[in-house]
């Protein structure tokens, strides 16, 4: 960019002198319309259980889901993302519970679609909340088997679509799953069900509190580096995205968020596709703890969210969604 203008004819502080002029010239902003709220569901009755590692975030039993969904409705948050806290006794090495039509996700879908039909619902497609080893896929000969995993993921996606899931979100990082899931959805007359691909998901240290929230932390054996991306890479992210677009992804996700703003920007510039950012659990807990200890102000959350928008994200999945939507209101 060529730099135009010089002092004293140009004084950029003229643009900052009052709130109203700052508002008028602002290039980006964040609103409730840009947010997706993740919700953790659990078994039992009458339970709203705090998650220790994520202050301000709770697990809801299904009969209590309407407590949080009413807030989502009130603050006009367009979509929620559902995650199950599956009891260990229901986990096995193939994640069979993922295909149980009465699992926590299917039950929640039925409830939400009946009582809150206007709220968009996104569901993760991956096996980690259901496997006894905590991995996103099935293990065959000591490896996460790509193609065998996809066979199960297809069934999981179809089940979610059947109960009204609006946005299928594969977060497993198996190769080729977007195309296979799209094909299966179309064949079963779910042509209007969207696919949001977690196309660029890094093997990150920032997922710790989430794994605690869904109960996979203590059981996870090893790490996820053979399927999630190496955080040293960004060109590889473009390859992931281009393959997923070809396979039928409607939206792509970059995850985690804050350390990967460069990746969001280059995807947006290269592909012009809607990109969502996931401000993950570790990011949430860092910021939330600092706010609770009065080290930084709540406004710092807005600053991080606008950062995603500046980088090119259309929306942000964040555990702050309800708190910030209320704050903005």
CA-CA distance, 2 to 199, in Å (whole number)? 35
CA-CA distance, 93 to 128, in Å (whole number)? 10
Binding mask 224-243 for ligand PBG (x = CB under 6 A): x-------------------
Residue 136 found at the interface with ligand PBG (CB under 6 A) = yes
Residue 131 found at the interface with ligand PBG (CB under 6 A) = no
Residues 6+ apart with CB under 8 A from 279: 256, 257, 258, 304, 305, 308, 316, 317, 318, 319, 320
Residue nearest to ligand PBG (CB): 210
What are the strands, taking DSSP E only, across the chain?
35-42, 48-50, 58-61, 79-84, 120-125, 139-140, 143-144, 167-170, 194-201, 251-255, 275-279, 315-318
Residue 65 vs 171, nearer CB to ligand PBG: 171
Residue 66 vs 194, nearer CB to ligand PBG: 194
CA-CA distance, 183 to 88, in Å (whole number)? 33
Is 255 annotated as catalytic? yes
Residue 275 found at the interface with ligand PBG (CB under 6 A) = no
Residue 9 Cβ vs ligand PBG, minimum distance, rounded to whole Å:
49
How distant is the alpha carbon of residue 124 from its chain centre? 8
Q: Which of 128, 180, 240, 247 binds ligand PBG (CB under 6 A)?
A: 128
Is 201 annotated as catalytic? yes
Task: Name the catalytic one among 64, 91, 94, 255.
Answer: 255
Residue 124 found at the interface with ligand PBG (CB under 6 A) = yes
**In the window 14-73, what residues touch ligand PBG (CB under 6 A)?**
none
Output DSSP code: residue 94: T
Count helices and strands (H / E) in the chain. 11, 12
Task: Name the catalytic one among 91, 94, 201, 224.
Answer: 201
Binding mask 148-177 for ligand PBG (x = CB under 6 A): -----------------------x------
Q: Which of 211, 268, 288, 309 binds ligand PBG (CB under 6 A)?
A: 211
Residue 188 vs 217, nearer CB to ligand PBG: 217
Residue 28 vs 168, nearer CB to ligand PBG: 168
Residue 66 vs 120, nearer CB to ligand PBG: 120
Residue 111 Cβ vs ligand PBG, minimum distance, rounded to whole Å:
21
Nearest to 216 by CA among 11, 22, 6, 40: 40
Residue 210 found at the interface with ligand PBG (CB under 6 A) = yes
Part of the chain binding ligand PBG (CB under 6 A), chosen from 97-105, 149-157, 204-212, 266-274 = 204-212
Residue 281 found at the interface with ligand PBG (CB under 6 A) = yes
Tokens 């989502």: give the residue. 72
Could you tell me if 52 and 211 are in contact, meaning their C-beta atoms sit under 8 angstroms apart?
A: no
Tokens representing 243?
């393959």
Q: Furthest-apart CA pair in the chain: how many Å?
A: 72
CA-CA distance, 186 to 178, in Å (whole number)? 12
Tokens representing 138?
């099935």
Residue 182 found at the interface with ligand PBG (CB under 6 A) = no
CA-CA distance, 78 to 36, in Å (whole number)? 7
Residue 85 found at the interface with ligand PBG (CB under 6 A) = no
3-state secondary structure of 22: helix
Residue 16 vs 258, nearer CB to ligand PBG: 258
Angle at 156 between CA 153 and CA 162, to 5 degrees: 140
Cis peptide before 32 (omega within 30 of 0): no
Residues found near ligand PBG in the complex (CB under 6 A) = 124, 126, 128, 136, 171, 207, 210-211, 224, 280-281
Question: Catalytic positions, please?
Answer: 201, 255
């Amino acid at each position: 960019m060529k730099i135009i203008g010089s002092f004293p004819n140009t004084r950029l502080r003229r643009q900052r002198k009052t709130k109203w002029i700052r508002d008028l010239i602002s290039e980006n902003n964040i609103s409730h319309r840009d947010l997706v709220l993740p919700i953790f569901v659990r078994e039992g009755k009458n339970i709203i259980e705090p998650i220790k590692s994520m202050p301000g975030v709770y697990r809801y039993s299904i009969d209590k889901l309407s407590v949080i969904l009413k807030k989502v409705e009130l603050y006009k948050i367009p979509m929620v993302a559902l995650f199950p806290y599956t009891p260990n006794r229901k986990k096995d090495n193939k994640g069979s519970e993922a295909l149980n039509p009465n699992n926590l996700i299917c039950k929640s879908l039925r409830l939400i679609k009946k009582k809150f039909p206007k709220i968009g619902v996104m569901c993760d497609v991956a096996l980690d909340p259901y496997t006894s080893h905590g991995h996103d896929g099935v293990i065959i000969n000591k490896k996460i088997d790509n193609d065998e995993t996809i066979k199960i993921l297809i069934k999981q996606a179809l089940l979610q679509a059947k109960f009204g899931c609006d946005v299928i979100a594969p977060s497993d990082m198996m190769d080729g799953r977007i195309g296979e899931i799209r094909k299966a959805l179309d064949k079963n007359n779910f042509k209007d069900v969207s696919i949001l691909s977690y196309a660029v998901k890094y093997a990150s240290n920032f997922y710790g509190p989430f794994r605690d929230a869904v109960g996979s932390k203590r059981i996870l054996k090893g790490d996820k580096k053979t399927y999630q991306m190496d955080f040293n890479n960004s060109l590889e992210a473009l390859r992931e995205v281009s393959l997923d677009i070809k396979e039928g992804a409607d939206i792509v996700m970059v995850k985690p968020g804050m350390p990967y703003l460069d990746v969001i920007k280059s995807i947006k510039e290269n592909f012009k596709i809607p990109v969502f950012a996931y401000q993950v659990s570790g990011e949430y807990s860092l910021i939330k703890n600092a706010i609770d200890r009065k080290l930084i102000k709540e406004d710092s959350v807005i600053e991080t969210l606008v950062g995603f928008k500046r980088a090119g994200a259309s929306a942000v999945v964040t555990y702050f969604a309800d708190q910030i939507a209320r704050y903005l209101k």
